[in-house]
Amino acid sequence: MRFASLTTPTGREPVLILPTPEGDRVLRLGHLAGDVAAILADPDLRERARRAGAEADAADLPRLDPTALAAPVVPGKILCLGYNYRGHVPDGADPTADDPAFPDVFVKTADTLAGPNEAVRIPRAATDVDYEGELAIVIGRTARDVALADALDHVGGYTILNDVSERAWQRRQSQWALGKCSDGFAPLGPWIVTPDEVGDPQDLLVEVERDGVTTVSQSTATTVFSVAFVIHHLSQVMTLHPGDVVTTGTPQKLPAAQAVHRPLADGDAVTVRISRIGALTTRFVAASAPDDSEVAA
Amino acid sequence: MRFASLTTPTGREPVLILPTPEGDRVLRLGHLAGDVAAILADPDLRERARRAGAEADAADLPRLDPTALAAPVVPGKILCLGYNYRGHVPDGADPTADDPAFPDVFVKTADTLAGPNEAVRIPRAATDVDYEGELAIVIGRTARDVALADALDHVGGYTILNDVSERAWQRRQSQWALGKCSDGFAPLGPWIVTPDEVGDPQDLLVEVERDGVTTVSQSTATTVFSVAFVIHHLSQVMTLHPGDVVTTGTPQKLPAAQAVHRPLADGDAVTVRISRIGALTTRFVAASAPDDSEVAA
């Protein structure tokens, strides 16, 4: 199933996205729950959503207007991994030789959340904004002190997060928060795909396209820490709740893309594509001085 | 004014705390707004609260039951500073010689928030839990791209935060989130004191007492970055909203306390005291295995 959140005149409504040969259709689920997280958290609601999707005549449903998609969940917390993909490993070398012992985890604040159609505003003080295309885990079932073998049972689904980062602010001090937490620096979506449709989360191709050029292309098979390990590990020190988002780090840019990389600027667009999940395109816009002085006034 | 949040049978209610010779009294403000942040954000509501306090006959008001206090605000984000107090500077030395160029900022998740009477649960995986007594700024007025000279206008008040930290998990990787973000690791309170009563935020004594011994005692005059600078700096890359909490780092433990320091354990209590604000006492309890397996089941 693909769950999404649709902007309505009165707020947001959870919906099921049903693909048809003529494009995606929308099945409203507001009668089941107020948001997607509540459906993911409840086996009965999930089953009712599944049945509603199976029984619907998709061709008769309204077409999906992609511009009406909001972030599929409003996470209670967004946790992100740094350094999780192995770089190029020469033939014959042990690919695990340089692996860190533990995942490096940081937080993006609630204010970083953005829907799949919101443009990211580049702060006036920013000089080096960058993208990071990442597989995002959406928790479906409360997780605390979870064994590795049980960890995947706590996944409600998967989506895509662009971990937008301001490198100059990120590198000025040991902790990365000021480079990671500008407003809207976590576009999320476009929808959440349930684990039965995603299959093995360690066999997904993560690709990023910028200006028509593929700058990242690497499989989640090359991560140091699996989805299961990350949930197990985090749950030892914190409770993960339904709707919480945990991202799994970004692959390095391809060498050719690294060579010509320039900071994101007004008008740029970046698309993150992950197999069996979908694509998230984010536009970047410059801060507009008049608006800002109004806010500060 | 001292604003607090009181647990009521139906939720929480903002209140004003009025000191009398016979102890603190409570003036309910639920008719003004749903939470303290909304009052701090609105000059008219602040004025109505001030007038209500001035006109009340405090002796006739109900006594404050300290166990009914909830966290005074539910922050949209909690941002914390590392390394902000200067250590001992030898006579004649330049106290600013080793100052970092920028504040080191990290995030505590929403789930770390705890009220002034909630015990902190020590996770089963924890081996080295520590306390950090900190002056916490509560934002009163939206701040983005704020000039240094205007920064203090955005403070709604001050309170106390214990930045509880698990050192073993904190030190395992470059980013500190796993040592900082266990459930309930940010006890906040007991109340918010408005800037007119706090006066100069760079002239407050921060003290921590553990087991009857003062382990920290240092003035906010010795911070590297002032409250004003921190607000100005953060606002360059993110919007600070009413109710957001920014803490200002912890002083080092006194040498005698460092020599005998041991990790916090079941039954310990730590009190953080800040002049003109108040005292926040936090109890620590061990994780209870049966409860946890229920959560994970």
The number of angstroms, rounded, from the C-alpha of B53 to the middle of its chain's C-alpha atoms is 24
Under a CB-based contact definition with an 8 Å cutoff, are residues A186 and A114 in contact? yes
pLDDT digits (tens, 9 = 90+) for B52-98: 999 999 999 999 999 999 999 999 999 999 989 998 777 888 889 88
Residue B180 and residue B213 in one domain: yes
Domain boundary among B69, B88, B112: B69
pLDDT digits (tens, 9 = 90+) for A82-135: 989 998 777 888 889 889 999 999 999 999 999 999 999 999 999 999 999 999
Length of chain B, in residues:
297
For residue A92, what are the CA distances in angstroms to A86, A95, A101, A221, B133? 15, 9, 22, 18, 52
CATH code for the domain in which residue A142 is found: 3.90.850.10
Indicate the number of domains in chain B: 2
The answer to whether residue B103 scores a pLDDT higher than 60 is: yes
CA distance B105 to chain A (A): 6
pLDDT digits (tens, 9 = 90+) for B107-161: 999 999 999 999 999 999 999 999 999 999 999 999 999 999 999 999 999 999 9
Q: Identify the CA nearest to A244 among candidates A173, A143, A175, A176.
A: A143
Under a CB-based contact definition with an 8 Å cutoff, are residues B207 and B273 in contact? yes
Q: Do A104 and B169 touch (CB under 8 A)?
A: no
Residue A52 and residue A93 in one domain: no
Domain boundary among A69, A103, A121: A69
| DSSP assigned state of A75 | -
Could you give the maximum distance between any two Cα atoms of chain A, in Å? 61
Q: Which residues of B touch A107 (CB under 8 A)?
A: 106-109, 177, 181
Q: Do B145 and A125 touch (CB under 8 A)?
A: yes
Under a CB-based contact definition with an 8 Å cutoff, are residues A175 and A135 in contact? no
Q: Do B111 and A77 touch (CB under 8 A)?
A: yes
Cis, peptide link before residue B14, omega less than 30° from 0:
no
pLDDT digits (tens, 9 = 90+) for A176-214: 999 999 999 999 999 999 999 999 999 999 999 998 999
Residue A30 and residue A6 in one domain: yes
Round to whole Å and give the CA distance between A250 and A168.
18
Residue B171 and residue B200 in one domain: yes
Q: Which residues of B touch A77 (CB under 8 A)?
A: 109-111, 181
Under a CB-based contact definition with an 8 Å cutoff, are residues A134 and A206 in contact? yes
Contacts with A51 (C-beta within 8 Å, 6 or more apart), sequence order: none
Round to whole Å and give the CA distance between A94 and A230.
22
Domain boundary among A54, A69, A84: A69
Q: Do B173 and A100 touch (CB under 8 A)?
A: yes
The answer to whether residue B290 scores a pLDDT higher than 80 is: no
pLDDT band at residue B288 under the 50/70/90 scheme: confident
Tell me which residue range forms the domain holding B192: 73-296
pLDDT value at residue A292: 44
The number of angstroms, rounded, from the C-alpha of B97 to the middle of its chain's C-alpha atoms is 29
Structure token pair of residue B186: 């940010």
Q: Identify the CA nearest to A154 among candidates A178, A129, A131, A137.
A: A137
Residue of A76, A146, A178 with shortest CB distance to B110? A76
CA distance A287 to chain B (A): 11
**What number is the average pLDDT over the span B271-291?**
89
CA distance A231 to chain B (A): 12
Residue A86 and residue A65 in one domain: no
Residue A64 and residue A196 in one domain: no
Q: Do B183 and A108 touch (CB under 8 A)?
A: no
Residue B22 and residue B91 in one domain: no
Contacts with A71 (C-beta within 8 Å, 6 or more apart), sequence order: A5, A113, A114, A115, A116, A187, A188, A189
